[in-house]
Structure 1
Amino acid sequence: MSTPLFEVQRVRLGDPLTEPLVRELTHEYVTRYGPGGHAEMARYPAEEFAPPQGLLLLLLADGEPVAGGAYRRYDDTTAEIKRMWTHSAHRRRGLARRVLAELERAAAAGGYRRIHLTTGPRQPEAKQLYLAAGYTPLFDPDLDPPEFRPLPFEKHLTDRHPAGPSKGSAP
């Protein structure tokens, strides 16, 4: 079995390719947090994830979305990561880390110097991803998180150039 090549594609919320991301992420939020998961997915209008101040990208394998994420303007120098997703059939393969790195590169290229994000206390795998990717927790990671309080993280982007061009490649 050959390893699929991955293509990074920038899309807008509402593009048919985003349907699996929206559907699965909504289901995940509702499963973990109850009906408020629908409200979280509707919290920001699609325009907030559109250039020039925002971005939504998908990682495609053989033309099908397998992972994705977005950022929006948080303030003049800070992008806020939102909507991180990996298709349930493709987890534990480093795809979320790849999406996160692509978002960081794009945010830096767009003039942002810092990334801010939050994850929920019922998403320990997301917490581990952000810690492993060099994000600083803005909470005490050694304490049990409050039941419904978001867990904030930040990462300062450096002035160095992104680590190479974005190309389709094997993981």
Structure 2
Amino acid sequence: MSVEHLDIRRLPFTAPESAALVTELMTDLGARYGSSGDDTPVDPTDFDPPGGDFLVAFLDGEPVGCAGWRGHGTEEAELKRMYTAPAGRRRGVARAVLRAIEDSAREAGRKRVILETGDKQPEAIAFYVANGYERIPDFGYYRDEPGVRSFGRKL
């Protein structure tokens, strides 16, 4: 399904729209995992170009989705803080944001996007698999935790 009136903008990770969506994401993850959400260390400057990027999707002027990437080594982009608010779900927002993130990473010279998710996010796993992501060896902050699922996709 195509999304009408969708505008994807580069915003700082600390912008009010970005922060509100990330807060919603952390609330969702906290409820799923019984935690604070995601304890992976994140510095807001990780998402500053050219070594990263943060994008927010606006549907009819309202922020409904976000994602960022940060450098992981010299050739990989690590996808972080991918989220679609309920108002944007099943409307193509997540796919559009993912494609924009991949384009941004590719333009910055990255060869692959990698990500961590977990077994309590089956819809996220299905989404990534449907978009060409394959299981890779676990990495990152949660690599040794039960239930972690890492994925990657060549750009």
TM-score, scaled relative to structure 1? 0.80
For structure 1, list consecutive stretches of 5 or more residues without a partner in the other structure: 140-145, 158-171
| Cα distance change, pair 70–135 in 1 and its aligned pair in 2 (3 A) | same
Distance 2:92 2:20 in 1: 19
Root-mean-square deviation over aligned CA pairs: 1.8
For structure 2, list consecutive stretches of 5 or more residues without a partner in the other structure: 138-143
Q: CA deviation at 1:37?
A: 1.4
| Cα distance change, pair 148–32 in 1 and its aligned pair in 2 (3 A) | farther
Q: CA deviation at 1:94?
A: 1.9
Residue in 2 that maps onto 1:51: 49
2:84 aligned to which of 83, 86, 90: 86
| Cα distance change, pair 38–131 in 1 and its aligned pair in 2 (3 A) | closer
Distance 1:29 1:74 in 2: 23
Q: Is the Cα–Cα contact under 8 Å of residues 27 and 36 in structure 2 kept in the other structure?
A: no
Distance 2:96 2:4 in 1: 14
Q: 1:114-140 CA deviation, whole Å, 9 max, x = no partner?
A: 11111111000000011000011127x
| Cα distance change, pair 148–92 in 1 and its aligned pair in 2 (3 A) | farther
Distance 2:13 2:6 in 1: 20
Residue in 2 that maps onto 1:168: none
User: 1:117-128 to 2 correspondence within 5 Å?
Assistant: 117-128=115-126
Residue in 1 that maps onto 2:112: 114
TM-score, scaled relative to structure 2? 0.87
User: Considering only CA atoms, is the larger Rg found in Structure 1 or Structure 2?
Assistant: 1
Q: Is the Cα–Cα contact under 8 Å of residues 133 and 153 in structure 2 kept in the other structure?
A: yes
Q: Which amino acid aligns with 1:8?
A: I
Residue in 2 that maps onto 1:8: 8
Residue in 1 that maps onto 2:141: none
Size of the aligned set, in residue pairs, is 147
Residue in 2 that maps onto 1:28: 28
Q: CA deviation at 1:147?
A: 7.8
Structure 1 runs of 4+ off > 2 angstroms?
146-149
Paired residue secondary structure (1:39): coil
Q: Percent identity over the alignment?
A: 37
Q: CA deviation at 1:35?
A: 2.2
